[in-house]
Amino acid sequence: MPTSQAKPFDIPKQEVWEAYRRVAANKGAPGVDRQTIEDFESDLKNNLYRIWNRMSSGSYFPPPVKGVEIPKPHGRGVRLLGVPTIADRVAQTVVAMHLEERAEPRFHPDSYGYRPRRSALDAVEACRQRCWKKDWVIDLDVEKFFDSVPWDLIVKAVEAVCETPWVLLYVRRWLAASLQLQDGSLVERDKGTPQGSAVSPILANLFMHFAFDTWLVRNHPGVQFERYADLCRRRHKSAYAEDRIMPMSRSWTRI
C-alpha cells in the first residue's frame, strides 16, 4: 500500500499489516491496557491505521510495559518479564522485521537464538558433533543480561546495521519505556531491554553479535562456540581456555 508523502517517515502500511499477522499468530497476554488480541481485532482497521499514522508521523510513544514475575527453574528465584500491549507489540514487530532483514546476513552461523529457521535443537546438534573433537568446554550465561545491558551499546549496535531514522527513534523510546509492576507502580529504567517484548530479541542478538561473536572470532579464531541468545558453550583443545579466555569471560559477563 502506498504511504502518504506528507509523513516524515516512509513506513509502508503493508509492513504494519504483516506485523499484526505475526503478533496475532503468537497470541500472548494483554499488556497494561488489558486489551486482548480479540479486543484489538474488533476494531482492527482503525487500530492498525492508528499505529501506522503515529509511527509515520514520529508521534508514536510506547505505553508502560507490564511487568510479570515467573519462577525460574529449580527454585532459583523469579524472572521479570515485560509484556507490551497488543498495539505496542505490533509497532515493535514493524521495527524488529526491519532490523532483522538487515542484521541476519551479518550474524554468525553459530548464533541460534531468536533467528528464522534456527532453534535450540540446532545448537544442541552442533554441540553434540563438536564435543567429540575438543577436550575443554566453557559453559557461560551472561548474568542478568536483559536487565543490565547498556542502552548506549544497544543503540550503537543498531546503528552499525541500520541508519533508518525512525528505527533508531523508536528503539530509543522502547528502551526508555517505564515498567508497570503488579501493584500498579511505575518503575523508570536506565538500562536493559524487557525480556518478553517483540523487539528485545533482535536487540539482544545485535548486542551479542558485536560484543561476543565478533570479539571471539577476532581475538580467538580457533575457538568454536554455540550461542543461544545470552547462553553459550565454547570448545577448546587445551587448558588454554581455562588460563586465558575464562578470566576474560568472567569479567565480560558482569556487564
Over 50: is that where the pLDDT of 254 sits?
no
pTM of the model: 0.85
pLDDT at 247: 46
Alpha carbon distance 38, 201 (integer Å): 25
What's the confidence (pLDDT) of residue 246?
45
Chain position carrying cell 528503539: 171
Per-position DSSP letters for 58-95, written without gaps between them: T---PPPEEEEEEEPGGG--EEEEEE--HHHHHHHHHH
Torsion of CA 168, 89, 72, 155, to 10 degrees: 0
Mean pLDDT, to the nearest integer, of 152-175? 97
pLDDT at 200 over 60: yes
* 3-state percent helix, strand, coil for the chain, nearest multiple of 5: 50, 15, 35
Q: Shortest CA distance to 54 belongs to which of 11, 93, 112?
A: 11
